[in-house]
Structures are given as C-alpha cells and as structure tokens.
Amino acid sequence: MNYFITGTDTGVGKTLVSCALLHGFAAQGKSVVGMKPVAAGSADGVQHEDVRQLRAASNVLASGGQINPYCFVQAVAPHLAARFIGIRINFARIMESFSELNAQADVVIVEGVGGFRVPLNDEQDSADLAEQLGLPVILVAGMRLGCLNYALLTAEAIAARGLTLAGWVANVPEAGMAMLKENIAALEQRIGAPLLGVVPHLEQPDARAVAGYLDVALLDKRD
C-alpha cells in the first residue's frame, strides 16, 4: 500500500495531502512513513519544511537520509540545484532509501517534487522516478484557474507511463475560485479514478484535520 503523490503544479498541496494520507492510514492501525526523494528550497540544505512535516505525520522513525536523499538550498528546478553544487541526482540512491523504508512500514507515501514532469537530472524526470518505483499514483489537483487543463494533461501523462492513477484529490489552495463545484464535476467526469476528497481552502491547514476530508477506503477498494 505505497503511493506516489504528484501534483498539477508546485504549491498545490502535495505535502498537505501526503501528510493527511499518512494520518489516515495511521488511523487504520498501519505503520506509515513519508518520503520526499528530492527537495529544493531548504533554508539550511539539511531539512526542508516539507520533509519536517512528513516526518511529523509518520509513526515510523527513519533517518533524514532515508526520507529525503537529496536536499538543496536553492529554490529552483532540482536538476539545476544539483548542478549548481556539482552533483547528479542518482535514482539508485533514491531506490535504496525507498527499499529501506518499505521494509519498515506498512505504507510509504512518496511525495514528488513540483509537477509530474519536473527534470531531476539531464536525462530523467519525476515521471521516470514514479515509473521506476512502480507505485500507483495519487494526483493532487490545485483548484484554481487553469486546473482543468493541468489535471487532465497530468492524468494523461500518468497513463502514458503505464502507471495506475489510484485516485485524485481536489485541493483548494486559494479562496474564491469561480464555479469550484462545476470544475470539480468536470474533472470527475473525465478522470478515470476516484475522487478521494475535496480539501476546502483553509487559512491554517492542519494535516490531521485534512485527513477527515479524504476517504482512504476508496484506495482499498481500488487495490
């Protein structure tokens, strides 16, 4: 019961939803751990804020290197941040960390970086990583202007990789989106995977509370 979390863009709530899923599975009595293979934009290059949140939502203790093999200070595309300090993001290192986490937990939630096709090195991107991991994908759709195109293109790209879209989440990062319900209905009609939940706009999002908006039982039925 491991999942790869991707989004329609950066800043659409992948970390919030990933942490909420961890809380949801933990409430079922499962051992859970979050993983962020690549993070860019860390204040100190040691622990990214997304990683801190994932660790807080996990009930399995794991090392920082297992949870986040690559952490960069610069808030730029990961392949550029890696190039700036003279290293290359190596999938073998990520796969090794994932295998270690998988041996420790019932559920590993792997949060991608940015959108589905963000470059990770000169030859590979986030979609290649999802493909190599071979995990079912959960798509976080940031409900804002342009989301229909982004969500449908991402769902299409996931299918093109031969990956299973296990479900999707409609997250509302900004208040006041026009015709929100109609946009969600349009995606429900076109995405061939269950809507796991709608996360409303929250001034102070709390992952434990957001877990209440998600139905992880739909994932059990899908599996």
Q: Which residues are catalytic?
A: 36
Report H helices in 105-214: 126-133, 147-160, 180-190, 207-210
Q: Distance (Å, rounded) from C-alpha 146 to C-alpha 144? A: 6
- Backbone φ, ψ for residue 165 (5° rounding): -85, 100
CB-hemisphere CA count at 13 Å for 1? 22
- Cβ atoms 155, 127 nearer than 8 A: no
80 membership: H or E segment, kind and range: helix 78-84
- Cβ atoms 6, 15 nearer than 8 A: no
Q: Distance (Å, rounded) from C-alpha 155 to C-alpha 219? A: 17
CB-hemisphere CA count at 13 Å for 100? 17
